[in-house]
Amino acid sequence: MADDNVGAALTGLLAPGNIDLNNRPVVHNPDGSISTVRSVGMNIDGRETLIPTVYGQSVLSNEDALRLYQMTGKHLGQFDTPENATAYAEQLHEAQAKQYKGR
């Protein structure tokens, strides 16, 4: 489910994410910020896959996030290169910051 708030083209997108971006868990960080779509990019079967690390009320380690992805198949998008995945992750982060501000 691509987020309508992410306006830039999804360069290199191979498969859209399959997570509801409008209903993400919110983790309150010690510095007062929040995390909703913190992610890690991993090459899985030749696709740079953005795996969310926010689950429930916590931020998972990269290893635990990978295990959860392997169990559920849930991701934020799959891209042709790490650079394109990172560019989208940054756009998504900014869009989510605006959407969830004040929550």
Work out the average pLDDT over 77-89: 96
Query: Model confidence over 26-73: pLDDT tens digits?
Result: 888 889 888 888 899 999 999 999 999 999 888 999 999 999 999 999
pLDDT digit string (tens) for 3-32? Answer: 444 545 589 999 999 999 888 888 888 898
Residue 63 confidence (pLDDT): 97
User: pTM for the complete prediction?
Assistant: 0.83
In the chain, the amino acid numbered 6 is: V
Give the model's pLDDT for residue 5.
Answer: 43
Q: Find where tokens 């191979």 sit.
A: 14
The end-to-end CA distance of the chain, in Å, is 22
Domain chopping of the chain, boundaries: 13-100
